[in-house]
Structure 1
Amino acid sequence: MDDRATGAAALKRLRQCRGLSLADTARALIAIAGRLGQPRISLPTVAGLQRSVARWESSRPTLPDARHQLLLAHLYGRTPAGDIALGAGSDFARLIDALAHLGEGARQLGELRSMLVRTATDQGGGLLALLSPSVQKGLATAMADPSLADEQLMAGLSTVVSDVNAQVGSVPFVRLQLLLAPALEACRWLTSGPVPQPLLPRLRSVSATAHTLAGRLAFETRDDVASRNLYTVATREAGLLPDPWRRATVHMSHALTTLYSTQGLDAARVLVDSAVRDARTGGSVVVRARAHALQAELAARAGEQRQAQAALELAWYDMERDGGGDPSETSFTAGHLRGFEGVCELYVGDPSLAHDRFAAAAGALVAPREQVQRAITTTDHALARIRMDEPQSAAGLLHECVLAAATTGGRVPAIRLRRARQALRPWRREDWVADLDDHLMDVLGS
């Protein structure tokens, strides 16, 4: 069976498992369109939509268009009992898999998933949205008696954490905290209980990742005390794992939040130096490259040109090594590293070179998960233009960043935006600066 036939068969199974006829499905989709406020006149009749459903499931299937995919997502994003279920093993996950087999691209499917996640949290029912029914049942059992935890539960919790992390840049941080909460609490409870010994490494791995992400989310929502406490737990959990690259990733995330929540560079540099030490003895060259890149940025911010250049050279050496089979799940790429090069040029080098590095980095950061980093890179790009005496074009770049900062609720893009705006003070009487101020006030309130 080819991919399209597999997708068509999967759609048909989904419908039949719900006990829906073709006509029932058409009526359900029309009802959903009404609830979403889509104009009734733009939908075909029940008979016409029924024919479309049949074509999606036929021996020569067609791919539902974006509008019908959204309606199907709302249909299968809830259980027959009406509960939201978007996690692994859910009907929604099966729908996404079917659409992928029918030829839909990963970007569209990611946007579809993000839309459903936002809808779930809009309606206040998103707390367990990413936990499949089987994982919910296993979690309830394990919370009552941790000795009954099993591998399926570990896999389910890991998937939830990965799913939440994948939504960074697409869903506001406050909503991601809501979605992460069940997995985070489960990790806390299970690591303090008598979980079967063979499961402990997997549990500690999930717990370290969950607490690191939670620390970042707490920082982004301006709860620095909670953020520090969460990173403390993440560091402890990662330190109990055999490969030190895991603790290096915690240190790096913690360093970045520390950089923007405390005065001076000293505290962040202590964490980055610890990350470099762990990464050098760890099994991930990708993590090692990222640690050296972050070390280079902090050296540049301190005005240490020679040290920054040396760290960058080490980062590129690691990045250009064969990364096949690298154990890290980090998304650090050459595009990200070009952004670090730009920061170093901005602080201790040539603004025009920084400008080119930032342009290349922003062009490479196109995935939804990379939009926060793209916004940060673009604000730095604007700073480079200011230092090149091109303030008006810099203001144009900053307009692009305002919406990205507002969409995610990201703290760092907002901080970088304010700093870039401060650099425009010599031109504060210009109309184009007033336009930027109006845009900042309208969207960010600052």
Structure 2
Amino acid sequence: MLKALRHRRGLSLAGVARALIALAGELHQPPLPSVASVQRSVARWESPKSPTLPDERYQLLLAHLYARTPAGDLSLGAGSDFAEYLHALGLLGESERRTAELRGLVLRAATDAGGGLLALLSPTVQAGLTAALEDPSRTAEEAIAGLASVVADVNAEVGSLPMVRLQLLLAPAVETCRRLLAGPVPDPLVPKLRGVAVAAATPAGRLAFETRDDTASGALYEEATRTAERLAQPWRKANVHMSHALVTLYSTQGIDQAWRLVDHAVRAARSGESTLVRARAHALQAEIAARAGHGRQARAALGLAWYDIEADHAEDPAPFSFSSGHLRGFEGVCELYAGDPSAAHDRFARSAEMLSAPREQVQRAIVTTDQALARIRQELRAWRREDWVADLDDHLMDVLGS
């Protein structure tokens, strides 16, 4: 694959070597050895009998080389040379974590230079979207799939890129969905386009909240909810309600509004096809109950979540939406608010251990923060009757726990 990529660019072994040496200078990396030396390395990576994996320095330089088209345009989306390069690294034995890291580094450099939506689309999809925006009746399935890949790509970078940059990357996709849905898109494609619109507006609502724009956040969640209601997939509507509930929980005093949204999520999830989304809805319902001091309700909801987690998920439409590792974290939260801090600490530790995939790192950070709060409460139990401990506990819960 690496050899095919090189040939596609019309590059010789020496040509790749010269390109990597030039990139090292542009990126302020340590100088590479001579062209002949780098050329030998390139040949070893492409060896038909025993190919070797490029080291981390060369991996990054190759990533920047294949992130741009021969014309110099940035292209990172599905079907791009960059995507094929990362796949080749995986076949050579590189970890998913490392390829995700490389992608994040290149995308960060792209946003530093002002790159946006087009960087995440292949040239073919770019042309298709341009034609669709001029005349929605010409919308093709490939263009909608390209939009879906952009949304997935932005979601994958949560935790690795600043929220403002993610918001800038996602906003054009949200607006494109709006414009296409307002036009005469071919009927068979409307459900798929609505699905992409929901998938785009939901994280956009969260990103607006993270950048302290509550008005825009609320409007985006309302838009996502309205669009989801027109889909015959209740689990998508449940996802919108759950995301909105979490934002509401952290942005307003009290939990009544968040509880109402979670109840809507549970009702939608119960009539949907995804048992994993249903498990997440029950887990969030348990957390809200525990925060309100209703331990029995929290335990009952956790029991339902475990029942769904242990079901067969082979045909689940949202296979990566929730896991037993996530659920262990919710168990910890319930123990923290309506149980034993020591037990909470152990649940969080187990959850953090299980959340090891690159896409789970944000959730792992949340879990370990909650674990630290459980440790603080656990260590202070010996002085729990002292007024100063009660004051500190209230402060910690206000700052970290709400």
TM-score of the aligned structures, taking structure 1 as reference length: 0.84
Cα displacement string for residues 365-411 of structure 1 (whole angstroms, at most 9, x for unaligned residues): 223322222222122212212221259xxxxxxxxxxxxxxxxxxxx
Tell me, yes or no, if structure 1 residue 215 matches structure 2 residue 205.
yes
Q: Would you say how many aligned residue pairs link Structure 1 and Structure 2?
A: 387
**What displacement does 1:420 show?**
8.2
Other structure's SS at 2:279 match: helix
Q: 1:107 aligns with which of 78, 97, 115?
A: 97
Counterparts of 1:255 and 1:423 in 2: how far apart (Å)? 22
Tell me, yes or no, if structure 1 residue 236 matches structure 2 residue 230.
no
Counterparts of 1:83 and 1:272 in 2: how far apart (Å)? 44
Counterparts of 1:421 and 1:188 in 2: how far apart (Å)? 44
Counterparts of 1:290 and 1:369 in 2: how far apart (Å)? 17
Aligned to 2:6: 15
Other structure's SS at 2:313 match: coil
Tell me, yes or no, if structure 1 residue 423 matches structure 2 residue 400.
no
Counterparts of 2:296 and 2:98 in 1: how far apart (Å)? 44
Task: Read off the aligned partner of 1:59 and give its amino acid letter.
Answer: P
Counterparts of 1:354 and 1:54 in 2: how far apart (Å)? 53
Aligned to 2:289: 299
Q: 2:21 aligns with which of 6, 14, 30?
A: 30
Residues 330, 54 of structure 1: alpha-carbon distance in 2 compared, 3 angstrom cutoff: closer
Residues 268, 74 of structure 1: alpha-carbon distance in 2 compared, 3 angstrom cutoff: same
Aligned to 1:46: 35
Q: 2:44 aligns with which of 55, 69, 78?
A: 55
Residues 178, 135 of structure 1: alpha-carbon distance in 2 compared, 3 angstrom cutoff: same
Tell me, yes or no, if structure 1 residue 278 matches structure 2 residue 251.
no
CA contact (8 A) 2:235 2:269 kept: yes
**What displacement does 1:102 show?**
2.1
Cα displacement string for residues 187-239 of structure 1 (whole angstroms, at most 9, x for unaligned residues): 01101110000001110001110101111111111111111111111111111
Counterparts of 1:339 and 1:142 in 2: how far apart (Å)? 43
Residues 46, 202 of structure 1: alpha-carbon distance in 2 compared, 3 angstrom cutoff: same
After TM superposition, the structure 1 = structure 2 runs for residues 99-178 of structure 1, keeping only pairs within 5 Å, are: 99-178=89-168
Q: 2:340 aligns with which of 327, 338, 350?
A: 350
Task: Read off the aligned partner of 1:423 and give its amino acid letter.
Answer: L
Aligned to 2:389: none
CA contact (8 A) 1:128 1:182 kept: no
Other structure's SS at 2:119 match: coil
Residues 88, 241 of structure 1: alpha-carbon distance in 2 compared, 3 angstrom cutoff: same
Which stretch shows the higher mean deviation, 10-19 or 140-149? 10-19
Task: Read off the aligned partner of 2:29 and give its amino acid letter.
Answer: Q
CA contact (8 A) 2:377 2:393 kept: no
Cα displacement string for residues 412-441 of structure 1 (whole angstroms, at most 9, x for unaligned residues): xxxxxxx9894399xxxxxxxxxxxxxxxx
**What displacement does 1:325 show?**
1.1
Unpaired segments of 5 or more residues in structure 2? 382-391
Counterparts of 2:42 and 2:247 in 1: how far apart (Å)? 49
**What displacement does 1:329 show?**
4.3
**Identity percentage over the alignment?**
67
Task: Read off the aligned partner of 1:37 and give its amino acid letter.
Answer: H
Residues 373, 226 of structure 1: alpha-carbon distance in 2 compared, 3 angstrom cutoff: same
CA contact (8 A) 1:215 1:231 kept: yes
CA contact (8 A) 2:96 2:358 kept: no
Task: Read off the aligned partner of 2:7 and give its amino acid letter.
Answer: Q
Other structure's SS at 2:343 match: helix
Other structure's SS at 1:71 match: helix
Residues 172, 138 of structure 1: alpha-carbon distance in 2 compared, 3 angstrom cutoff: same
Task: Read off the aligned partner of 2:8 and give its amino acid letter.
Answer: C
Aligned to 1:416: none
Task: Read off the aligned partner of 1:27 and give its amino acid letter.
Answer: R
Aligned to 2:387: none
Other structure's SS at 2:159 match: coil
CA contact (8 A) 2:237 2:268 kept: yes
Counterparts of 1:350 and 1:157 in 2: how far apart (Å)? 46
Q: What's the RMSD between the two structures over aligned residues?
A: 1.7
Counterparts of 2:191 and 2:214 in 1: how far apart (Å)? 29
Highest RCO, 1 vs 2 (Cα 8 Å, sep ≥ 6): 1
Unpaired segments of 5 or more residues in structure 1? 1-9, 392-418, 426-446
Other structure's SS at 1:327 match: coil
Q: 2:180 aligns with which of 183, 190, 201?
A: 190
Other structure's SS at 1:128 match: helix
Counterparts of 1:379 and 1:56 in 2: how far apart (Å)? 41
Residues 420, 147 of structure 1: alpha-carbon distance in 2 compared, 3 angstrom cutoff: farther
**What displacement does 1:330 show?**
3.9
CA contact (8 A) 1:287 1:330 kept: no
